[in-house]
Structure 1
């Protein structure tokens, strides 16, 4: 196979582009250790006061717990719904499978604010506003299209030979799915779980329509905090969220590998 060497000018261009994209994230780190009362760069003094303030902020900690629990529930439900749906569409070729696929992925074509307003109108008459169940359903509208796309592509790329071999040796359909198909889909399942978790955890627009004063998520709490105050507390929360995302990526990389998980 021919080995192509990247030229030095191209490496410089790529490095500059990466720096440009990561600059806002990198600036958050020193700001989070600022000892000032307001957001400023560069900080004139250094302190861990805003991390301590975050630990003592009951509203932020409660919102983080809600976001974490919500993202976990949404991730599990996205997999529980997405895996059978992808299998029915890709393998079983059920009647109208393309229509079902388009229906599941239709929310990707709509602006999030339109989805949020539509869900608000529907939930207003069902008593789901300001409830955990309502937030779960609202987030599923956003995460299911991503889950189905990733799972359908993962399943579609699998060779049928292994499943056919298991069937020819007497394995029942459910046994083939459990012992052959799902293990082969493991990278796609992990990619779906990570994507669904991060999308749900970071969702703010739909959540602002559905959350209430007694139940809110971390992104919404941060949004309201920035409206009234401009202190480095937001930067400290952002740093922790970046580290959380990085930890998830590292776990995936160490277990299955990023290339195998996210690259077709």
Structure 2
């Protein structure tokens, strides 16, 4: 076995230190969620699981979680439908202004969330969409669509058009070609776009704060208001559950189709 050079050893140490620096805040949340104290203190003076039990008894958090799951599911379905059509038109179409249209559809990725939130607030107040489900869906769709279009566009770009042309030359109508040929071949991109859209919508807080109302709340907004009023470890317990949820989703994607394949890379 070849020995590592001093330069490579130094590089590995640097990488490990960077990982520790990036993951330290997440790692510290885990023991704090098992704290027996009534406030967030480090290190925990005692250990308890009562804050996980408190989550089950918090009706406000349960309702906010339910709203976030429903909202993220609706937004994901719309992002895949609209984003898939837009990505197909941008990658397979040949018409003037295609590059400008692509830049326009992905422009929200370049704007700060607070700017988008303020703009949506001004528009939605006039349309009476503040605190309404249609307003929340439209606001989240604005930030998830660019991701869906980018990922689905990458999946389409790696799919040879000759495969679709061959099916069409055998008499298959456009709808059948897309359903039987295009969609199965870009399934990995669809999974990736759906997962990213769901997580982005589920985790969005800045824009949601501008358009959510007092009667309609999401989990990130509920957590934001919670830490304004209280500083107990229940918020750490909820954070740990969200971390586990994200980790499970990533592991399922890796187990099913592989992360590199999911984002459009070669297996």
Note whether the superposition's TM-score is higher than 0.5: yes
Name the CA shift for 1:162/1:150 in 2 (closer, same or farther; >3 Å): same
* Structure 1 SS opposite 2:223: helix
1:234-259 C-alpha deviation (Å, 9 max, x unpaired): 10010000001011111111111111
Q: Deviations over 1:157-215 (max 9, x none)?
A: 21122222222222222211111111111111111001100100000011000111110
- Whether contact under 8 Å (2:188, 2:264) holds in the other structure is no
Once residues 200 and 192 of structure 1 are traced to their aligned partners in structure 2, the CA distance between those partners, rounded to angstroms, is 12
Q: Is the 8 A contact 2:189 2:264 kept in 1?
A: no
- Is structure 2 residue 256 aligned with structure 1 residue 255? yes
Give the aligned partner of residue 83 of structure 2.
82
Q: Counterpart in 1 of 2:59?
A: 58
Match of 2:34 in 1: 33
The unaligned stretches of length 5 or more in structure 2 are none
The list of structure 1 runs, each at least 4 consecutive aligned residues, that deviate by more than 6 angstroms after superposition, is none
> Residues 48-127 of structure 1 correspond to what in structure 2 (within 5 A)?
48-127=49-128
Match runs of 1:159-198 below 5 Å: 159-198=160-199
Distance 1:95 1:78 in 2: 25
Structure 2 match to 1:46: 47
Matched, 1:238 2:229: no
Determine whether 1:214 maps to 2:196. Answer: no
How many positions carry a matched residue from both structures? 260
Contact 1:88/1:94 (8 A) holds in 2:
no
CA RMSD, Structure 1 to Structure 2 (Å) = 1.4
In 2, Cα distance between equivalents of 1:29 and 1:248: 19
Alpha-carbon contact 2:64-2:218 (below 8 Å) kept: yes
Alignment of 1:134-173 (within 5 A): 134-173=135-174
Counterparts of 2:263 and 2:44, CA distance in 1: 38
Per-residue deviation, residues 57-104 of structure 1 (Å, max 9, x unmatched): 100111011011100100000001000111111112244322221221
Match in the other structure for 1:132: 133
**Whole-Å separation in 2 of the counterparts to 1:93 and 1:40:** 60
